[in-house]
């Protein structure tokens, strides 16, 4: 029986911190919109999982883009459509747009922001020079040859150590199961994010209070942080929306709080509405407003979650089919296919700010002047399930997405 080479792609996303920076290029902004459309599609596939949810769509997009660089024929066409990338006729090289977006993030001053990419090819199974040149130039990849065939435990440990280092120990053992001896390449994307709130919460004001969670039979106790400050804010009869900026004002957490505390009429309804255009509409309607904010401290360790079936439902069929996959742009042969894509994610939110991480792995086998006292500020009380996004404000890039249904659970 013919031996099928295997390719593994791992994506890791951790925490970022941002300050003032130069305006992004049009290419970076256009790509961000495409990535966000894919992010909403992927969330729609993940929303039926139980409990808290947290992942990095940017990490998935980045790793799949490096895979797309070696795809041909129907495999490339399906990936292009699923990822919302422009057609080759509309954009000769989507990878230069990724380079522009990565440069935008890299140029953020006075902050920690580390986005890293790496390739781990099988020793003695060379990749095409033009493929390596493309990913080096546009993704800044580190390339380390390993031996999956004869020294798989050592190769897996080396990749896991790289992930652990790049995510400041937040993501450990992204690859837990042994890789097949037919593995020929592992691609890894790692993003580290750590942001301090522009307006930090005072720890002395945090108090344990009931949090209504449909994932438990009764309310749970959760430490609710609180402050009254000016934020971008909007409300509809079905939900409230608020943006909590991180220091520097370039990255914000957008929180979507349903008016209804029940699952079907609350968070499930908001998840059905979630789309690129809807998020843009919500953000456009937000205005600076003094708000009383109550937000639970929470931590989510999510994964490792296989994304294969979700991506198949989004139209990426051939990439996972031994007989149909065409990644000949990587090694010159049609003998690679994707066997698995995993993501592992972490986020912690407290009075100081946010720390987040995620890893994804893919395996290829072979105002007016008032004349009277102003009304009291609106109350944004997140004591029931809500959605949240961490976005780059200049490009709109969604770096992380999540759902909190029980802040007492990790």
- Say if CB 133 and CB 330 are below 8 A apart: no
Position 112 pLDDT exceeds 80: no
- 388 domain residue, yes or no: yes
**Token couple for 382:** 């997140």
Position 5 pLDDT exceeds 50: no
Burial of 305 (0-12, 13-18, 19+ CB in 10 A): middle
- 1 domain residue, yes or no: no
The boundaries of the domain holding residue 143 are 6-196+299-365
Indicate whether 29 and 62 sit together in one domain.
yes
- 241 domain residue, yes or no: yes
Indicate whether 122 and 265 sit together in one domain.
no
- 352 domain residue, yes or no: yes
Position 1 pLDDT exceeds 70: no
pLDDT in tens, 153-209: 999 999 999 999 999 999 988 888 899 999 888 888 887 888 899 999 999 999 999
pLDDT in tens, 7-49: 555 555 444 333 346 788 888 999 999 999 999 999 999 999 8
Among 251-265, 340-354, 388-402, the minimum mean pLDDT is found in 340-354
pTM > 0.85: yes or no: yes
Looking at beta carbons, which pairs linking 79-82 to residues 24 or more positions away fall under 8 Å?
79/316, 79/319, 81/315, 82/38, 82/41, 82/311, 82/314, 82/315, 82/316
What is the pLDDT at residue 230? 97
Arithmetic mean of pLDDT over the chain: 88
Indicate whether 180 and 282 sit together in one domain.
no
Residue tagged 């002047």 (tokens)? 369
Q: 273: which residues sit within 8 A by CB, 6+ positions away?
A: none
Tally of structural domains, the chain:
2
Q: What is the CATH number of the domain that holds 14?
A: 3.30.497.10
pLDDT in tens, 43-72: 999 999 889 999 999 999 999 999 999 999
Indicate whether 176 and 258 sit together in one domain.
no
Indicate whether 29 and 147 sit together in one domain.
yes
The closest of 365, 380, 359 to 168, measured between CA atoms, is 359
Q: What is the CATH number of the domain that holds 276?
A: 2.30.39.10
Indicate whether 245 and 351 sit together in one domain.
no
């Amino acid at each position: 029986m013919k031996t099928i080479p295997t390719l593994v792609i791992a994506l890791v996303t951790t925490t970022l911190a941002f300050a003032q920076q130069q305006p992004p290029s049009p290419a970076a902004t256009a790509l961000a919109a495409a990535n966000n459309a894919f992010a909403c599609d992927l969330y729609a596939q993940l929303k039926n999982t139980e409990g808290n949810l947290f992942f990095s769509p940017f990490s998935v997009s980045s790793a799949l883009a490096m895979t797309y660089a070696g795809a041909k024929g129907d495999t490339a066409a399906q990936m292009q459509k699923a990822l919302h990338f422009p057609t080759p006729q509309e954009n000769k090289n989507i990878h230069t747009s990724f380079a522009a977006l990565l440069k935008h993030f890299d140029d953020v001053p006075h902050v920690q922001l580390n986005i890293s990419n790496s390739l781990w090819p099988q020793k003695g199974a060379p990749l095409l020079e033009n493929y390596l040149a493309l990913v080096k130039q546009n993704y800044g990849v580190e390339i380390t040859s390993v031996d999956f065939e004869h020294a798989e435990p050592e190769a897996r440990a080396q990749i896991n150590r790289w992930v652990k280092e790049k995510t400041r120990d937040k993501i450990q053992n992204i690859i837990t199961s042994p890789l097949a001896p037919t593995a020929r390449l592992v691609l890894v994307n790692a993003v580290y994010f750590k942001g301090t709130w522009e307006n930090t919460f005072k720890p002395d004001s945090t108090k344990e209070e009931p949090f209504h969670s449909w994932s438990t039979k009764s309310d749970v106790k959760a430490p609710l942080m609180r402050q009254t400050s000016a934020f971008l804010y909007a409300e509809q009869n079905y939900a409230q929306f608020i943006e909590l900026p991180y220091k520097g004002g370039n990255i914000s957490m957008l929180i979507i709080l349903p008016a209804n505390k029940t699952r079907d009429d609350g968070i499930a309804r908001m998840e059905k509405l979630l789309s690129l255009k809807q998020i843009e509409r919500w953000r456009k309607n937000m205005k600076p407003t003094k708000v009383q904010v109550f937000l639970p401290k929470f931590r989510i360790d999510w994964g490792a979650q296989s994304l294969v079936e979700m991506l198949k439902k989004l139209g990426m069929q051939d990439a996972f089919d031994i007989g149909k996959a065409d990644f000949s742009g990587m090694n010159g042969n049609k003998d690679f296919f994707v066997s698995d894509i995993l993501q592992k994610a972490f986020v912690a939110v407290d009075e100081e700010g946010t720390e987040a991480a995620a890893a994804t792995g893919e395996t290829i086998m072979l105002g007016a002047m008032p004349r009277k006292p102003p009304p009291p500020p609106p109350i944004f009380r997140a004591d029931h399930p809500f959605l949240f996004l961490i976005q780059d404000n200049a490009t709109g890039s969604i770096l992380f997405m999540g759902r909190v249904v029980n802040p007492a659970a990790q």
